[in-house]
Amino acid sequence: MSRGRVCRRPASRGDGAGIRCIVGHVLVQAALNGGTTRAAHPSVPLTPAELAADARAAAEAGAGAFHLHPRDESGAETLAAEHVLAAVAAVRGATGLPVGVTTGIWTVDGDVQRRLALVRRWTGQDRPDYASINMNEPGIEELADLLLGLGIGIEAGVWRPVDARVLETAGFSDRLVRVLLEPEQPTSAAAVATAAAAAAELSRMGISARQVRHGYDLPTWDVLRAAVADGQDIRIGLEDTTVLPDGSPASGNADLVAAAARLAAET
């Protein structure tokens, strides 16, 4: 495997506009906040300014792309355009790297139509480069059509093999930026096995989009090791875990990204 950090600019916005940085052959995507609270980690970034500062430090540590959960003034996750566009603009302005966001149905209390109405306002130069669509949620076809029509790429969120099989009949499986494999199992062996089973389903279906894999809490590190060994990309950040590979607390996102970059370079 080649070593070091290499950057290249994708051909189109739908491929993730900006500069794509890789460590060796591996993209390290930084998931800066997710639903993580300040109680879980005091340094989790919530505001656009905090996200920008964290993103800049994470990029210096080896991150080549970002995944955000924009927050409103109260700190709650939101799909409202004013907050989404502000968060994306801040991170992109700080790094020049691709920025994606969640479309999680929980942010709209399960209301599919409200989600579409909010996402429809993600327009202009500050729109996300891509957004994740969880395959186990309702309304994914309409949401995919909307995102693609807005010029926003799609990450297909796959938690289990059954979620991977949803892509077999999805009308957007050939238009993905990547597949996001995110097993939730609480043990390393189970999480790695679930990711491998989902990846096998994707291969069977001929879905060749790059995969970004991660887990949650300490097992995420073994999921990342297996992903790099399989030649796939990885994700890390305070959304996924607050601990380093040895189980010690991470100081923040840059600390986690640096550890993931070392793992990618050494595996």
Q: How many residues does the chain have?
A: 267
Question: Is 1:25 a contact under the CB 8 Å cutoff?
Answer: yes
> What's the pLDDT tens digit per position in 169-194?
999 999 999 999 999 999 999 999 99
- Could you tell me the CA-to-CA distances from 117 to 57, 191, 208 in Å, in that order? 34, 35, 31
CA distance 115 to 134: 13
Q: What is the pLDDT of residue 25?
A: 81
The model's pTM is 0.91
Query: pLDDT by residue (tens digit) across 49-83?
Result: 999 999 999 999 999 999 999 999 999 999 999 99
Q: Which one-letter amino acid corresponds to residue 149?
A: G
pLDDT above 80 (res 267): no
Sign of the torsion formed by the C-alpha atoms of 172, 173, 174 and 179 = positive
- Identify the pLDDT of residue 22: 55
Q: Return all residues near 206 (Cβ < 8 A) that are at least 6 apart.
A: none
| Domains of the chain, start order | 5-266 (3.20.20.70)
